[in-house]
Chains A and B, each alone.
Chain A
């Protein structure tokens, strides 16, 4: 089933285009990996799909409600010393459901616990967020994204700053979520892993490449980046 249709889209900010001529469909159960060098507009594209930025040209058709799109943003400096428990952070994912209701209800609390358990961090419920390891923090933010939406998850570099073990665990969790029926759109600069799990690749270049994993492996881009970059890493931390 088609969830989001991107047609002739140009994205950017302050009227400056950073990525253009995007045409692709997001279908149910897809695992789309967005790769590309720094500053090529990967985060800008995700923010445009979320409605945080408006498209400069072209359209995005939504066949689902905006409330069904969850988001895992890059961590901000504010969060590093923020006094909050894991439960407080995860519960804030229910904001979009609350509308004018000021407090969360029992069902939501239960659901938050289920999501924590799904990501194997049920034991952290009462811990302080700022005292967790990087991998645990990312899982908490992923649990929050799950509370806000169950159809599509947009992940902005979820493995930035994680050690190799935590990175592997994070990929396994995301893959598990995808297999349970959640559509995943993930920005990554680790193209090797992207190729392992993803069903589709969106390469943010000019012109952009979009296709299935097999199509990508046959493309010139793949040949270029596979020979030139050891370990398949392109670009570093991207902070637009």
Chain B
């Protein structure tokens, strides 16, 4: 037992360990808040498509040798977020096929670029950590910490101030539009925030696993809670707790951070699923 605390204590005495915990918890919180709207609006797949696009953008940024990857990755991902959202609403174009095309192309082109322009000696190692997150938690920089702090302050402020509007747009877009809400703007803002969250979260859990961070907490909360407010709050708490436990476990067990967090999220989902079934069974008797 003492050993456990010693290991955790050791990691937390390192700045890198503290960074991972701060960034992880804040990103998880933002992702889960957005997740509620995304899951309910049937936009979960957009998160998935975007993370692939972000991988492609990152590859381009690496190849061109930019000192700060965010400069290229962020605008490209935001742009694809808006394109995906717009086309998914357009009934004439096949939205889901477009997402499939976009994400596969980004993956393929990204991987190809990284291999053709040997920028680093360990291409497959780089690719693996971009897709599945870093193996150890020791890769985050102080600028990642600041970006995630600023991002989460923005997301939480936006979410609190526009909570009622977000509810109205999510529950019934036509009605919201008819009563004068600029629904397009909300969709674009939400898409932009998702893009930013995905890009920042990629450093931690990797691009393939980002969408799990977005959808699992919301889905778990929806099993048990019945009002929008309680689902939103519960989703935030689940996400923060799972990420916290996940990062600590990965320190103790020396497992990959991203995968560990998501396994904890999955376990949590099953727990909530069973609780939900039990509660429903009780009310029917």
Q: Are B228 and A98 in contact (CB under 8 A)?
A: no
> At the interface, yes or no: A214 with Cβ under 8 Å from chain B?
no
Q: Are B226 and A52 in contact (CB under 8 A)?
A: no
Q: Which of A78, A83, A96 has the most CB of B within 10 A?
A: A83
Shortest Cβ distance from residue B18 to the other chain A in the assembled complex, whole angstroms: 34
Within 8 A of B (CB), among A85-123: 85, 88-89, 91-93, 95-96, 98, 102-104
Across the interface, A92 reaches (CB within 8 A) one of B92, B171, B226, namely B171
> At the interface, yes or no: A67 with Cβ under 8 Å from chain B?
yes
Within 8 A of B (CB), among A45-73: 47, 50-52, 66-67, 69, 71, 73
Q: Are A98 and B177 in contact (CB under 8 A)?
A: no
**Size range of the chain B interface in the assembly:** 20 to 34
Within 8 A of A (CB), among B7-40: 40
Complex CA–CA separation, A93 to B180 (angstroms): 11
Across the interface, A85 reaches (CB within 8 A) one of B40, B165, B226, namely B226
Q: Are A102 and B162 in contact (CB under 8 A)?
A: yes
Shortest Cβ distance from residue B87 to the other chain A in the assembled complex, whole angstroms: 15
Within 8 A of A (CB), among B191-243: 222, 225-231
Instruction: Give the secondary structure class of A's interface.
Output: helix
CB within 8 Å for A66 and B180 given contacts A78-B171, A85-B227: yes
Instruction: Give the secondary structure class of B's interface.
Output: helix
Complex CA–CA separation, A196 to B165 (angstroms): 39
> At the interface, yes or no: B176 with Cβ under 8 Å from chain A?
yes
Q: Are B227 and A83 in contact (CB under 8 A)?
A: yes
> At the interface, yes or no: A148 with Cβ under 8 Å from chain B?
yes
Q: Are B163 and A84 in contact (CB under 8 A)?
A: no
Q: Are B168 and A92 in contact (CB under 8 A)?
A: yes
> At the interface, yes or no: B42 with Cβ under 8 Å from chain A?
yes
> At the interface, yes or no: A79 with Cβ under 8 Å from chain B?
yes
> At the interface, yes or no: B167 with Cβ under 8 Å from chain A?
yes
Complex CA–CA separation, A196 to B167 (angstroms): 37
Shortest Cβ distance from residue A176 to the other chain B in the assembled complex, whole angstroms: 22
Q: Are B161 and A102 in contact (CB under 8 A)?
A: yes
Complex CA–CA separation, A136 to B225 (angstroms): 20
Q: Are B179 and A95 in contact (CB under 8 A)?
A: yes
Which residues of B approach A to under 8 Å, CB–CB? 40-42, 92, 160-165, 167-168, 170-172, 174-181, 222, 225-231
Which residues of A approach B to under 8 Å, CB–CB? 14, 47, 50-52, 66-67, 69, 71, 73, 76, 78-79, 81-85, 88-89, 91-93, 95-96, 98, 102-104, 128, 130-131, 144, 148
Q: Give me 11 other A-B pairs in contact (C-beta within 8 A), A71-B178, A71-B179, A95-B179 excluded.
A: A51-B178, A67-B179, A76-B172, A76-B174, A82-B228, A84-B167, A85-B228, A92-B171, A92-B175, A92-B176, A148-B175
